[in-house]
Amino acid sequence: SYVLTQPPSVSVAPGQTARITCGGNHIGRKSVHWYQQKPGQAPVLVVYDDSDRPPGIPERFSASNSGSTATLTISGVEAGDEADFYCQVWDSSSDHWVFGGGTKLTVL
Amino acid sequence: QVQLVESGGGLVKPGGSLRLSCAASGFTFSDYYMSWIRQAPGKGLEWVAHITNSGSKIYYADSLKGRFIISRDNAKNSLYLQMNSLRAEDTAVYYCARYLITSFGIVRDASDIWGQGTMVTVSS
């Protein structure tokens, strides 16, 4: 089955740029979606189809996908961005959704 | 407003059954594919199953096939998850979620609306 690999944690100072990676075999050939989940809350879609933002998501959230790595970039990180972030793809070979293990973003 | 509200969670003994419901409002439910996704305490997200808007196609995570059944009633704007032969490892918050439809009317395999979740605890 398809596997997505994320770093368990990323730390960044306020105002800096956070980059969260999501690795997978030829992931650049798939559409990658990103979710933000704050403690005790449901996930929120922040990026879909590699780099599109749903309405209401700040431009500070951007993403890219190429080769074997997709990357979510958060510019000008704020304390309120602290959360768990998950990448997700549709694995057409199995007709399954696959989530990465999640990355905890800590704002120092 | 657009909303999904899950219900039906609770404490159940191993081997027992539970039926979760998800009530949709604020959008045309029958237009949307829907999913169940779960999250064990302190763990990541795990896709459970999804169903097309008409209910004609259904997909399950391999580990759950045969024990869980997803269904929907478009007349009642409701999504369901029948869970049988429950195990301790099924303990989780269960979310229902709506597939994204872009502004161009294209269905995408991501979820833009999630419910608040319902907790299922399997324990003796």
pLDDT tens-digit map of A44-87: 999 999 999 999 999 999 999 999 999 999 999 999 999 999 99
> What are the C-alpha distances in Å from B10 to residues A2, A87, B23, B66, B115?
32, 29, 17, 21, 16
- Which pLDDT belongs to residue B74? 97
Report pLDDT for B107: 85
Q: Tell me the C-alpha distance between A107 and A82, whole Å.
A: 6
CB nearest to B110's CB, from A33, A42, A96: A33
pLDDT at B66: 87
Residue with tokens 């439809």, as numbered in its chain: B101
Rounded (5°) CA angle A29-B52-A40: 80
What is the CA B23 to chain-centroid distance, rounded?
11
Question: pLDDT tens digits, residue range B52-101?
Answer: 999 999 999 998 878 999 999 999 999 999 999 999 999 999 999 999 98
The two three-digit tokens of residue A106, written as one number: 């800590």
Angle at A75 between CA A73 and CA A77, to 5 degrees: 110
User: Does A31 sit within 8 Å of B62, measured CB to CB?
Assistant: no
pLDDT value at A10 more than 80: yes
B117 contacts on A by Cβ (under 8 Å): 42
User: Nearest-CA residue of chain A relative to B39?
Assistant: A42
